[in-house]
Amino acid sequence: MAKLPTYQQDHQTIIFKNSAREIQLTIITPEIIRVYENHSESGTSYAIEGDKQKPTDYRIIQKPDHYEISTSALTIKMDAAMHLDAYDSNNHPLIIDYRGSRTPLDRGIDEEHKKFVQEEGHNVPGADDQNNPHYFQVVKDLAADEQIYGLGDKTGYMNKRGYEYDDWNTDNPAPHLENFTRLYKSIPVIIGLKAGHPYGLFFDNPYRSHFDFGKENPDYYFYSAEDGNLNYYLIGGKTLKAVVTNYTYLTGRTPLPQKWTLGYQQSRWGYSASQKMVQGIVDKMQQSDLPFDAIHLDIDYMQGYRVFTWDDAAYAGNPKKFVTNLKNQGKKIVAIIDPGVKKDPGYKIYDQGIQNDYFVKDLQGKVYVNQVWPGDAVFPDFGRTAVQDWWGKNDQFLTDMGVAGIWNDMNEPASFQGEIPQDIVFSDHGRPSTHKKMHNVYGHNMAKATYEGVKRATGRRPFVITRAAYSGTQKYSTVWTGDNHSIWPHLQLLIPQLCNLGMSGFTFAGTDIGGFGSDTTPELLTRWIEAAIFSPLLRNHSAMGTRAQEPWAFGEPTLSIYRKFLKLRYRFIPYLYDLFARESKNGLPLMRPLVLNDENDPRVRNINDQYMVGDSVLVAPIVQPSQRKRLVYLPAGKWLDFWNHQEYDGQQDIVVDAPLDKLPLFIKKETILPWGPEVNQISETPDTTMTFNVYGDSGSYHHYQDNGLDFKYQQGEFNDYLINVDQDQVSVKLVHQGFQPVYQHVTVNLKNQSITLDYHSDTEDYK
Ligand code: GLC
């Protein structure tokens, strides 16, 4: 029998050695175990900040042919060949090393024919480059009944099984369809269900990497990387929710946003070229009785695309006055900032960066130049604290103007003159490294710099939007899925994309509503605003040169339907904000696939055209042209049609009508939901009343309230209301009181009556 490796224990780390390898297992918590093998790379994480290790009891037992390392939740078995197998506490297999050899996909083509086929523009992928001396792979068993979710906003479907993907942040404006392997973000976490047993696997390595989920061979899935250390986390948890909670414990959770950021936002590349155009949009939104909170300024507001400048002349010489005016009316401006700094001696930002040596350089020590919107541009070296601080301070140029949010784009980083060479010197936590290593975390570091800068300057919860991201960026920024198109497949895609982002820790996310590239149609725009109405980030954005797609662009009935849904969104904002307050503690996404709530129901494991908002709101949008009815699968429980309160049993498919102005929407019976007032923007003046709707006859609900702006809630300045309903008995309790004023009246709408309770300050309760 082959000899087992030797091992040595150092607190919660066990180091296994044989003649060829040294593999460390570190117990982070009972449900998180890290697997690590040093490949001579500095291993400081960008995703994980601070010490996440908790004192955890574990034991190690030697069996004849393997070791067993167990915590209360996970058992890892290691054999003589150093295979690693993870089981849950009931000995169900979760993550098992594949024992066979890989059988690379035979595409039936030789090199000569490959060239021939490529001449017409076809893509013939090559095998992964296993001859690269730094290459490594991790191959795991794939069970017949196994689903794989996560990986951020990759294309395709909820379940990634049968597909392959790459992590190499990429700006490719062609339509992102299911055969696209890479997009703007690298979020190397998978959340799996193996024969119904949940697990997570997080590969924390920023180098270019590849995932194949049983495409090459249905018996295994694999991860491979071009370089870096073997560094992954085995994540357990009794439920899928617990796995997501554990993963977000490790990499962080989306902090509570400012409340207004949940409002509707209107954008288009081109608007910001003049004050007149932006004002025109504001006026038209108001005249059309359309609720909104922000207008986004794309690159045109700057002087010749120079970041941290403003084309004053196009803003009547005084952009600050314009922004302040809007602000006084309760409307916010969000402005774009790209990383590329125009190469332009005499321009302050360029000069400062050159003087202080803040830009990335080639191996000869020359500042590296590529092209983006401003033409020749140079790139800040965000892997250094000094550069992050400098960038963050520059954001003050915008916050001083009254700009309320910063949108970071092109931070893959995108470059128009070919990809930045791999050996360009980028810093890694302050030490010289390469573009090859730092590429996938460039956007992360930029978003972090922006978040910190805005926080220092304003004291408010920063509103940052980023296109490129890495695992952990959710702590600093909301994201959008980049340049989609006005095509039906992209309306369909938003459900798996946003749900998988949510499973990967990114709850604050959205798509360009109506589609960015290509020309939208009235029906597509209508179905898009319906389908996206619960997406946490709610922004309509489009490319210059495409057909206009503001809510009024097609007249009636599009405008009225669009308005109806925006009004519905604002009614739901107190619910969405409650979910954010919970999410910041447990990491569970607002918008989520049905499987996250009901993993034991095999029917929901592959649903791509329905989603949940929290635990009890089910959304089944129409995502096909001309469709006026659809099949809806209702999971276990009883459900009420939101529009007419008709009751349905769960665990069945029903056919529902969906004329153009209807979004099929169901509420789980015995649910209480807050119901905001009808408003056209989110006010900074605290609400003094709140309404709750009861779906069914009873229920209980926690509702959160604070000032919606800053960090005072962290010192306890918030209220937690507990609403209980049992038939017609209604009670409202202030479980935590730290924010003033509390609601003076609370109205609860029951099936056949409405009950209003008033606050009595002497007894501090509602009667
Ligand atoms: C990129 C962004 C898009 C933006 C455009 C101009 O394509 O993804 O949202 O409008 O650049 O800045």
> From CA 684, how far away is CA 694, in angstroms rounded?
27
> From CA 247, how far away is CA 503, in angstroms rounded?
9
For tokens 């040294």, what's the residue?
A: 22
Question: What percentage of residues in the chain have a pLDDT greater than 70?
Answer: 100
pLDDT (tens digit per residue) in 575-592: 999 999 999 999 999 999
**Closest-lying ligand 1 atom to the alpha carbon of residue 267:** 10
For residue 325, name the pLDDT band (cuts at 50, 70, 90): very high
Per-residue pLDDT, 485:
98
* Three-state SS annotation for 413-450: CCCCCCCCCCCCECEECCEECCHHHHHHHHHHHHHHHH
Q: What is the DSSP string of 716-743?
A: T--EEEEEEEETTEEEEEEEEE-SSSPP
Ligand 1: centre distance to CA 252 (Å): 28
Q: Does the beta carbon of 395 sit less than 6 angstroms from any atom of ligand 1? A: no
pLDDT, average across residues 375-379: 98
Residue 126 predicted with pLDDT over 80: no
Dihedrals phi, psi of 351, to nearest 5 degrees: -60, -45
> From CA 374, how far away is CA 354, in angstroms rounded?
17
To the query of whether residue 409 is one of the catalytic residues in this protein, the response is yes
pLDDT, average across residues 59-81: 97
Whose Cα sits closest to atom 5 in ligand 1? Answer: 269
* DSSP secondary structure code for residue 364 in this structure: T
Look up the CATH number of domain 592-667: 2.60.40.1180
pLDDT, average across residues 655-667: 98
Per-residue pLDDT, 2:
84
Among 300, 409, 428, 578, the active-site one is 409
Per-residue pLDDT, 748:
98
Whose Cα sits closest to atom 3 in ligand 1? Answer: 483
Whose Cα sits closest to atom 10 in ligand 1? Answer: 269
Ligand 1: centre distance to CA 342 (Å): 17
**Closest-lying ligand 1 atom to the alpha carbon of residue 269:** 10
pLDDT (tens digit per residue) in 471-530: 999 999 999 999 999 999 999 999 999 999 999 999 999 999 999 999 999 999 999 999
Q: What angle do CA 431, 360, 396 make, to 5 degrees?
A: 95
E-strand stretches of 571-697: 591-592, 611-613, 617-619, 629-634, 638-641, 647-649, 652-657, 665-668, 671-675, 689-695
Look up the CATH number of domain 259-337+383-586: 3.20.20.80
pLDDT, average across residues 135-142: 97
Per-residue pLDDT, 373:
98
For residue 169, name the pLDDT band (cuts at 50, 70, 90): very high
> From CA 595, how far away is CA 140, in angstroms rounded?
23
Per-residue pLDDT, 545:
97
Among the residue ranges 7-16, 102-111, 143-152, the one predicted with the least confidence is 102-111
Q: Does the beta carbon of 232 sit less than 6 angstroms from any atom of ligand 1? A: no
Ligand 1: centre distance to CA 608 (Å): 27
For tokens 């009181």, what's the residue?
A: 737
* Short-list 390, 386, 365, 367, CA closest to 307: 390
pLDDT (tens digit per residue) in 684-733: 999 999 999 999 999 999 999 999 999 999 999 999 999 999 998 999 99
Per-residue pLDDT, 357:
98
* DSSP secondary structure code for residue 474 in this structure: G
**Closest-lying ligand 1 atom to the alpha carbon of residue 173:** 7
CB atoms within 10 A of CB 30: 18
Given the DSSP bridges, would you call strands 405-408 and 464-466 parallel, antiparallel or unpaired? Answer: parallel
Per-residue pLDDT, 122:
83
Ligand 1: centre distance to CA 409 (Å): 7
Whose Cα sits closest to atom 4 in ligand 1? Answer: 269
Q: Does the beta carbon of 482 sit less than 6 angstroms from any atom of ligand 1? A: yes
**Consecutive H or E run containing 559:** helix 558-586
Per-residue pLDDT, 123:
79
In a mutational test of the pocket of ligand 1, which residue from 334, 407, 410, 467 has the highest number of ligand atoms less than 8 Å from its CB? 410
Q: Which two tokens stand for residue 403?
A: 């700009």
Q: Does the beta carbon of 338 sit less than 6 angstroms from any atom of ligand 1? A: no
AA letter at 240: L
For residue 130, name the pLDDT band (cuts at 50, 70, 90): confident
pLDDT, average across residues 220-230: 97
Per-residue pLDDT, 41:
79
Among the residue ranges 33-42, 177-186, 191-200, 323-332, the one predicted with the least confidence is 33-42
Among the residue ranges 97-106, 418-427, 436-445, the one predicted with the least confidence is 97-106
Q: Which two tokens stand for residue 367?
A: 């500042």
Residue 554, helix vs strand vs coil? coil
Q: Does the beta carbon of 299 sit less than 6 angstroms from any atom of ligand 1? A: yes
Q: Does the beta carbon of 570 sit less than 6 angstroms from any atom of ligand 1? A: no
Same fold, 592-667 and 685-766: yes
> From CA 536, how far away is CA 588, in angstroms rounded?
13
Ligand 1: centre distance to CA 170 (Å): 13
* Short-list 514, 508, 507, CA closest to 483: 514
Look up the CATH number of domain 685-766: 2.60.40.1180
In a mutational test of the pocket of ligand 1, which residue from 483, 485, 542 has the highest number of ligand atoms less than 8 Å from its CB? 483
**Closest-lying ligand 1 atom to the alpha carbon of residue 543:** 10
Among 167, 412, 550, 583, the active-site one is 412
pLDDT (tens digit per residue) in 475-490: 999 999 999 999 999 9
Distance of CA 462 to the CA centre of its chain: 16
**Consecutive H or E run containing 469:** strand 469-470
For residue 40, name the pLDDT band (cuts at 50, 70, 90): confident
Is 53 in contact with 26 (CB distance < 8 Å)?
Answer: yes
pLDDT, average across residues 720-747: 97
Residue 201 predicted with pLDDT over 80: yes
Per-residue pLDDT, 443:
98
Residue 129 predicted with pLDDT over 90: no
pLDDT (tens digit per residue) in 532-579: 999 999 999 999 999 999 999 999 999 999 999 999 999 999 999 999
Is 394 in contact with 308 (CB distance < 8 Å)?
Answer: yes
Pick the more confident residue, 353 or 130: 353
> From CA 163, how far away is CA 221, in angstroms rounded?
10
515 torsion bin: left (phi>0), alpha (psi -120 to 50), beta (else) = left
Among 41, 85, 483, 599, the active-site one is 483
For tokens 């129901």, what's the residue?
A: 601
Q: Which two tokens stand for residue 669?
A: 């019976």
In a mutational test of the pocket of ligand 1, which residue from 269, 295, 518 has the highest number of ligand atoms less than 8 Å from its CB? 269
CB atoms within 10 A of CB 332: 24
Percent of residues in the chain assigned helix, strand, coil, to nearest 5: 25, 30, 45
In a mutational test of the pocket of ligand 1, which residue from 297, 409, 518, 541 has the highest number of ligand atoms less than 8 Å from its CB? 409
Residue 386 predicted with pLDDT over 90: yes
Q: Does the beta carbon of 479 sit less than 6 angstroms from any atom of ligand 1? A: no
> From CA 595, how far away is CA 241, in angstroms rounded?
10
Q: Does the beta carbon of 483 sit less than 6 angstroms from any atom of ligand 1? A: yes
pLDDT (tens digit per residue) in 425-459: 999 999 999 999 999 999 999 999 999 999 999 99
Q: Does the beta carbon of 271 sit less than 6 angstroms from any atom of ligand 1? A: no
Give the strand order in the sheet containing 689-695.
Answer: 671-675, 689-695, 745-749, 754-760, 765-766
pTM: 0.98
Is 197 in contact with 605 (CB distance < 8 Å)?
Answer: no
* Extents of the domains making up the chain: 259-337+383-586, 592-667, 685-766
Q: Cis link prior to 664 (omega < 30° from 0)? A: no
* Short-list 64, 93, 99, CA closest to 81: 99
